[in-house]
């Protein structure tokens, strides 16, 4: 948790302009807590007279907590991470300001940072409505289809209109490299990046071999 001050102002010990909370930090604390329980269970299993009654449940909780943490990590690059509560958003600011209105709260003890400010009319919900999510998914699929068509049609036109060996080699190399960079940006798994790039390269290599006449 951090305290935030508006940009252009000197960070001091006065009342902050907002706060920043990363809820995923709680999950890491939960993982450590469950790990401590499992370590104690293992020691009791090895040296105790009886097996701890809940060791299997603790193991299940630990595995589930790891999966939950991996799910949280997927949102870390999102512009609207649902596990970040920040004064940048007006609704979050009101929520944290009310929560800090207790005698035990000591904002001066928090690390301080500057932030550009907030929008007074930003009441964006944590998640978008299902109808809007469906429409966005449809538009995203249309965009993917358009990009896929461009990566196949454009090199085909270039190699057909300029039917030379060098044109085919340069076109294939350039488009495979561009496609690989795009997949590296879009996909998170290295194996998926490699397999998709290899499949695209295979398509262009086959097309080059069928259409290009060496000169």
Is the pLDDT at 171 greater than 80? The verdict is: yes
Mean pLDDT, rounded, of the chain: 82
**Whose CA is closest to 83, among 68, 102, 94, 67?**
68
Residues 33 and 109 grouped into a single domain: yes
Residues 107 and 9 grouped into a single domain: yes
Residues 106 and 11 grouped into a single domain: yes
Contact 124, 15 (CB under 8 A): no
Full residue range of the structural domain in which residue 80 is found: 2-115
Q: What is the pLDDT of residue 61?
A: 94
At 86-137, the pLDDT tens digits run: 877 777 777 887 887 777 777 777 777 666 666 555 666 666 677 777 888 8
Residues 83 and 108 grouped into a single domain: yes
Helix (H) or strand (E) holding 115, with range, is: strand 112-115
Instruction: Choose the final residue of a domain: 115, 150, 174.
Output: 115
In this structure, is residue 122 part of a structural domain? no
Instruction: Choose the final residue of a domain: 89, 115, 141.
Output: 115
User: DSSP characters for 2-61?
Assistant: EEEEETTS---SS--SEEEEETHHHHHHHHHHHHHHHHHHHHHHHHSSS--TTHHHHHHH
At 45-83, the pLDDT tens digits run: 888 878 888 899 999 999 999 999 988 888 877 777 888
Residues 108 and 143 grouped into a single domain: no
Residues 146 and 204 grouped into a single domain: yes
CA angle centred on 137, ends 131 and 139, rounded to 5°: 105
Instruction: Choose the final residue of a domain: 86, 115, 144.
Output: 115
Residues 107 and 141 grouped into a single domain: no
Q: What is the pLDDT of residue 35?
A: 94
In this structure, is residue 66 part of a structural domain? yes
Residues 73 and 176 grouped into a single domain: no
DSSP H helical segments within the chain, as ranges? Answer: 24-47, 55-73, 90-99, 130-161, 165-186, 190-211
Contact 207, 156 (CB under 8 A): yes
- Average pLDDT of the segment spanning 187-202: 89
Q: Residue 87 gets which letter from DSSP?
A: T
In this structure, is residue 120 part of a structural domain? no
Is the pLDDT at 38 greater than 80? The verdict is: yes
Q: What is the pLDDT of residue 185?
A: 86
Residues 54 and 100 grouped into a single domain: yes
Question: Does the reported pTM lie above 0.75?
Answer: no
Q: How many domains does the chain have?
A: 2
Instruction: Report residue 15 as tokens.
Output: 């009342």
């Amino acid at each position: 948790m951090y305290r935030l001050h508006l940009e252009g102002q000197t960070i001091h010990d006065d009342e902050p302009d907002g706060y920043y909370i990363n809820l995923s930090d709680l999950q890491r604390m939960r993982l450590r807590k469950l790990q401590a329980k499992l370590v104690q269970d293992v020691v009791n299993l090895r040296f105790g007279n009886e097996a701890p009654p809940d060791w299997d449940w603790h193991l299940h909780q630990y595995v589930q907590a790891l999966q939950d943490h991996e799910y949280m990590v997927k949102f870390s690059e999102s512009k609207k991470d649902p596990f970040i509560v920040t004064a940048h958003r007006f609704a979050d600011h009101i929520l944290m300001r009310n929560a800090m209105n207790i005698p035990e709260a000591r904002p001066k003890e928090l690390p301080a940072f500057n932030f550009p400010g907030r929008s007074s009319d930003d009441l964006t919900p944590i998640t978008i409505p299902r109808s809007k999510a469906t429409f966005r998914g449809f538009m995203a699929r249309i965009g993917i289809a358009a990009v896929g068509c461009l990566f196949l049609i454009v090199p085909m036109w270039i190699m057909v209109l300029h039917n030379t060996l060098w044109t085919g080699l340069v076109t294939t190399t350039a488009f495979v490299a561009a496609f690989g960079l795009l997949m590296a940006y879009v996909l998170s798994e290295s194996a998926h990046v490699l397999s998709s790039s290899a499949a695209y390269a295979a398509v262009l290599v086959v097309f080059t071999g069928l259409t290009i006449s060496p000169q």
